[in-house]
């Protein structure tokens, strides 16, 4: 069982062609991405008893994502995404992030989990961020931990706080992914690749096995103990970039699971990953992101769709 914990919300996308609503939220998108790649996955997040909450439930069910937490009485969170002429999105948010009683239920909810992923707003916004960190710390003795800061400066405006939160999660994670924009915001004036190299050392032997940086059309780059790797991004016509990083993250984690490297018992093997294998993982993930940007909204590929995309030259 794979577990994703974090925010689920509705993206209201505004573009020159009009307004559309899509279910989203970075962790929720990762959960859907993993399920479409044929992994059993559960999503631990909140949504309300309202029309948007119903849409969240329907979206998760359509991809066979399990939802052990019931809706609550608060409104479902909403993100308004405004697309520019190139399809790039900027966001404004109206959200609540809390999971009351989660910590007490963790032994039951995480039973059988071999990989837990979190990130974005869920790891930054209180009171829920503290509950998410407790879940990570509970899961780490038996599960691989994935983390993507997916920074939202319009919500978490204090960069010093965001940096401290991100580093707190990086230090207890195994598979870390960030965009170059995330790292440039967290560490102004520092080369994002240098920031990623430093993240690899956070937490010592208990820290990340690999850190990956997505760089849009420049292609992803990654670092592990054995070395560094970079690959070209597939060339596609971009519809929009909504959910591209989440599709990348889902496929990256899927690649780790497909190699039998999930679970704490395989942590040493994950830390011994050859640089060539890292390149294969990020190439696989880049192809998933390419499928997503080729069509509107956060719409990650199925395994069959991903397998049909040729590797970049």
Domains of the chain: 2-307 (3.40.1190.20)
CA dist., res. 263 & res. 8, Å (int) = 25
The answer to whether 178 touches 223, Cβ cutoff 8 Å, is: no
CA dist., res. 132 & res. 16, Å (int) = 37
All residues at 6 or more sequence positions from 209 whose CB lies less than 8 Å from its CB, including other chains: 174, 175, 224, 225, 267, 270, 271, 273
> Which residue, 108, 172, 103, is CA-closest to 140?
172
pLDDT along the chain (313 residues), means of 10: 96 79 92 98 96 95 96 90 76 86 95 98 96 97 98 93 98 98 98 98 90 95 97 86 91 98 97 97 95 86 88 67
Amino acid 87: pLDDT? 72
The answer to whether 142 touches 113, Cβ cutoff 8 Å, is: yes
Extract the tokens encoding 194: 């240098």
Strand partners of residue 44: 5
Amino acid 22: pLDDT? 83
Q: From the centroid of its chain, how far is CA 96?
A: 19
Q: From the centroid of its chain, how far is CA 285?
A: 12
Place of tokens 């997916």: 150
Amino acid 30: pLDDT? 98
CA dist., res. 284 & res. 310, Å (int) = 10
The answer to whether 34 touches 250, Cβ cutoff 8 Å, is: yes
Give the DSSP per-residue string, the chain: -EEEES--EEEEEEETTEEEEEEE-HHHHHHHHHHHTT--EEEE---BSSHHHHHHHHHHHHTT-B--SPPBSSPPPEEEEEE-TTS-EEEEEE-----TTHHHHHHHHTTT-SEEEEEGGGGTSTTHHHHHHHHHHHHTTTSEEEEE----TTT---HHHHHHHHHHHHTT-SEEEEEHHHHHHHSTTS-HHHHHHHHHHTTGGGS-SEEEEE-GGG--EEEETTEEEE-PPPP---S--TTHHHHHHHHHHHHHHHTT--SGGGHHHHHT--HHHHHHHHHHHHHHHHHHHTSSSS-PPPHHHHHTSPPP-
Amino acid 313: pLDDT? 62
Amino acid 311: pLDDT? 72
The answer to whether 14 touches 82, Cβ cutoff 8 Å, is: yes
Residues in the chain: 313
C-alpha torsion 49→50→56→60, nearest 10: 50
CA dist., res. 30 & res. 183, Å (int) = 20
């Amino acid at each position: 069982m794979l577990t994703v914990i974090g925010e689920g919300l509705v993206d209201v996308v505004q573009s020159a062609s009009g307004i559309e609503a899509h279910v989203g939220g970075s962790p929720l998108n990762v959960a859907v991405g993993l399920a479409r790649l044929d992994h059993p996955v559960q999503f631990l997040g909140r949504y309300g008893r309202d029309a948007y909450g119903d849409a969240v439930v329907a979206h998760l069910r359509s991809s066979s994502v399990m939802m052990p937490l019931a809706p609550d009485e608060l409104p479902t969170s909403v993100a308004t995404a405004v697309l520019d002429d190139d399809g790039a999105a900027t966001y404004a948010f109206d959200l609540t992030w809390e999971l009351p009683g989660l910590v007490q239920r963790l032994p039951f909810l995480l039973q059988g989990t071999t990989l837990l992923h979190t990130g974005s707003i869920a790891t930054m916004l209180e009171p829920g961020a503290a509950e998410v960190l407790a879940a990570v710390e509970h899961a780490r003795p038996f599960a691989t931990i994935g983390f993507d800061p997916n920074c939202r400066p319009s919500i978490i405006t204090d960069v010093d706080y965001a940096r401290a939160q991100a580093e707190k999660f990086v230090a207890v994670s195994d598979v870390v992914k960030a965009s170059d924009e995330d790292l440039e915001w967290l560490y102004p004036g520092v080369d994002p690749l240098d920031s990623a190299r430093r993240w690899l050392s956070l937490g010592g032997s208990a820290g990340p096995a690999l850190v990956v940086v997505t760089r849009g059309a420049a292609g992803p780059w990654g670092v592990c103990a054995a070395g560094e790797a970079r690959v070209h991004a597939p060339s596609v016509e971009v519809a929009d970039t909504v959910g591209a990083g989440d599709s990348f993250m889902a496929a990256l984690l899927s690649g780790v699971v497909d190699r039998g490297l999930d679970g704490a018992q395989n942590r040493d093997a994950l830390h011994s990953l050859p640089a060539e294998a890292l390149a294969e993982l990020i190439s696989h993930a880049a192809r998933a992101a390419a499928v997503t940007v080729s069509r509107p909204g956060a719409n990650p590929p199925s395994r069959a769709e991903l397998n049909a995309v040729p590797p970049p030259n």
